[in-house]
Amino acid sequence: MKSIAKLILAIFFLLIPVGVFASTTNTITDQKFDETISDQTQTKYVTPTTIYITQITTTSSELQKNPSLWVKALYYYSITRLHFADIPYNYLIDSNGEIYEGRSGGVGANPELRDAQGSILIGYLSNDSVITNRASTSMYTLVDSLASTWGISNLSVSKFNIVQQEGQLSKLVPVELKGEFKQSVLDTFSQWKGYKSEKLAYKTKIEEVTYDTEVVIGSKLHVTVTVKNLNDFTWLTDKNPIYISVKDGADSKFAINGVWDSFSKPTHISDSAVKAGETATFEFDLLAQVAPGKAAESFEILKFNNQPFKDSAFDVKFNIVKGNKTLVEVSSSEYGFANIRSCQWYSCKILDTVDNGVVYILLSEENGWMQIQYTEDIKGWVFSRYMKKI
C-alpha cells in the first residue's frame, strides 16, 4: 500500500502545473544585508552556462526553524569567518519553497568557484536529504526560469570543498555528489531538457552622442556614444559582444576598411559587464569620402543575431567640406566601379574595389593614372578613365 501511495503522490506532483505552489523571492534589499562588509571589487561577470545545486545543512535547531535567519547567518559567516568576498550562493531555497537572493550582482556575478566559470549556484537549506514538494516546485521553477532566460542546458548536483589560502579570498571547488539528495534533485528534473539560446529583451537609452558637425573631406569624424542599461540585469559581453551597427545592417558609405569590425559595424564592446543603471561608451570614426555637402548615417545597438536593442537608434548628421583639396569621384559608366591599386599599372596589387560615387582627394596625375589618398595612411592609384574631377 505504501508503494502505491507513493506512486499516486508522484503522479499527482507531475501533473501539477509549475507555479501552483506560490513561492516568494526575498531580495537582498528585503533581507537587509549589511553590504558594506562584502567586497564587490573582484566580482567576475560571466555569461552563465551551468546551474549547480547543492545542499546546505546546519547543527543549529534555531536556524532550522528560521530559514531567513539561516540565510543571514550564512551571509555573515561566509564573509567574516570563511573569508569569501560575498556569500557564494546566487540563490537559496528553504524547505517551504521560499527563495532568497544571495550574492550581490544578480545573474552573471560568478560564484567564487575556483575551476568553474559561468555558473549559477543554488543552495537548498535543509538537513533532510529528500526535497519537499514545495521546495521541489520552487527549485524547478527557478532553474527553468533562469535557464530559459539565459539559454542554459547544463545542470549539476554537487557538493563543494572550501579552499583557503593565507592572504587570499576563499574559493569553492565542486566535487561529485552521490546519495539521496542528488537522487531527489534528479527526480525533480527528470523531464527537464534545458535551453540552447537566451531570451533576453535588451533595453537602452542613448544618453549622449558627440561629434563635430563639420569635417574636411578625406578626414575622419570621431563619434562618441554613451548608452545606459535600462534592464534589471547585467549586460554580459564575454560570450556575445554588443555592437554599434548601421541601422538595418546596411553597409556604410563612411566605413573604414580594416578598422571597422565590418562595413556595417564600426565597433563593439566585449569582455566587460554593464550593470543595470550603468552606462557604456562606444567610440568610432567615420571616413568622410563622399561628395561635399550634408551627410548622415543612422545607427543602432545590437547584441547578437542582428537583434537591435529597444529604442537604441540614433543619427550622426554632419557637413563635409572641400577645404583646399582637389577632389575626384569614381565614375565608370562601363563597369560601375573602379579598382584602387598599389601602383600605376594593371599588374599592381588591388587595394580595394569601390563603386561609383565614392570621392577621394587627388594627389597627382601621371601617365593616365590618378594618385589618390585611399586611407589616412595609404595612397592608391586609379585609372583616370574611371574618375572625374568635381
The domain defined by 13-188 folds into Lysozyme-like (3.40.80)
- Residue with the three cell numbers 552573471: 108
Domain 204-321: CATH superfamily is Immunoglobulins (2.60.40.10)
Residues near 159 by Cβ (< 8 Å), separated by ≥ 6? 54, 55, 174, 175, 176, 177
Question: What pLDDT was estimated at residue 381?
Answer: 97
Q: What are the backbone angles phi and psi of residue 169, rounded to the nearest 5°? A: -70, 150
41-97 pLDDT, tens digit each: 888 889 999 999 999 999 999 999 999 999 999 999 999 999 999 999 999 999 999
Q: Which amino acid is at 34?
A: D
Q: Which amino acid is at 195?
A: Y
Which CATH code for domain 327-389? 2.30.30.40
pLDDT of 334 strictly over 70: yes
Question: What pLDDT was estimated at residue 114?
Answer: 79
pLDDT of 219 strictly over 90: no
Residues near 32 by Cβ (< 8 Å), separated by ≥ 6? none
* 274-278: long-range pairs with CB below 8 Å, 24+: 274/229, 274/234, 274/235, 274/237, 274/242, 275/105, 275/229, 275/234, 276/106, 276/229, 276/230, 276/231, 276/232, 276/233, 276/234, 277/228, 277/229, 278/228, 278/229
Q: What are the backbone angles phi and psi of residue 275, rounded to the nearest 5°? A: -75, 160
277-293 pLDDT, tens digit each: 999 999 999 999 888 89
Q: Which amino acid is at 11?
A: I
- Quick check: 63 and 165 in contact, CB under 8 A? no
Q: How far apart are CA 22 and CA 390, in angstroms?
A: 73
* Confidence grade of residue 194 (pLDDT, cut at 50, 70, 90): very high
Stronger pLDDT, 74 or 217, i.e. the higher one: 74
33-57 pLDDT, tens digit each: 888 898 888 888 899 999 999 999 9
Q: How far apart are CA 274 and CA 276, in angstroms?
A: 7
**pTM score, whole prediction:** 0.78
Q: What are the backbone angles phi and psi of residue 151, rounded to the nearest 5°? A: 70, 60
Nearest to 370 by CA among 333, 334, 349, 339: 339
Provide the residue ranges of all domains of the chain, joining segments of one domain with +.
Answer: 13-188, 204-321, 327-389
All three cell numbers of 92, joined, read 537559496
Q: What are the backbone angles phi and psi of residue 315, rounded to the nearest 5°? A: -115, 145
Stronger pLDDT, 311 or 42, i.e. the higher one: 311
Question: What pLDDT was estimated at residue 116?
Answer: 63
- Quick check: 301 and 204 in contact, CB under 8 A? yes
- Quick check: 280 and 271 in contact, CB under 8 A? no
Q: How far apart are CA 313 and CA 245, in angstroms?
A: 9
- Residue 316, H or E segment: strand 314-321
All three cell numbers of 49, joined, read 552556462
